[in-house]
């Protein structure tokens, strides 16, 4: 095995740290050191620190769809309800490159904001609405 790609790459948010459950979940599941500890516990003969790569969640989804698709170019939609901060992302794939095109953020993780959506895009305008 050359690399272990962990499909989350972010620092804990204030929301993660504010409540015991979320702080514990981040520490036990999402934090890279927790994943490295699990790998080392189950497969101790490997140097996991040199093979462990945190990957942004929606990029992991986009890559796992685009690269094996066989298409030379594609528009890739990822809509899973929760990346690090995104609910939906759009990517352009060309050759070996995936480029973010637009992202739509959710309330924040675990619905702590009054924002219902936020969009960033190089080529479109989006607005923020509140509940």
* pTM of this structure: 0.69
Domain residue ranges of the chain, discontinuous segments joined by +: 1-55, 56-131
CA angle 106, 90, 107 (to 5 degrees): 5
CB 16 within 8 A of CB 26: yes
pLDDT at 80: 81
Interval 56-70: pLDDT, tens: 888 999 999 999 999
Rounded to an integer, what distance in angstroms lies between the CA atom of residue 131 and that of residue 129?
Answer: 7
Q: What percentage of residues in the chain have a pLDDT greater than 90?
A: 40
Pick from 79, 119, 111: nearest CA to 13? 111
Strand-pairing partners, residue 52, are 4
CB 36 within 8 A of CB 49: yes
């Amino acid at each position: 095995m050359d690399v272990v790609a962990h499909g989350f790459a972010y620092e804990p948010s204030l929301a993660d740290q504010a409540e015991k459950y979320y702080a514990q979940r981040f520490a036990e599941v999402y934090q890279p050191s927790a994943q490295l500890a699990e790998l080392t516990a189950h497969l101790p003969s490997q140097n996991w620190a040199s093979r462990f790569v945190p990957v942004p969640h929606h990029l992991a989804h986009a890559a796992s769809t685009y690269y094996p698709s066989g298409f030379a170019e594609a528009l890739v939609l990822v809509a899973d309800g929760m990346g690090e901060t995104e609910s939906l992302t759009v990517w352009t794939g060309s050759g070996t490159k995936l480029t973010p095109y637009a992202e739509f953020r959710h309330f924040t993780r675990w619905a702590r904001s009054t924002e219902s959506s936020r969009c960033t895009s190089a080529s479109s305008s989006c607005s923020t609405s509140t509940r």
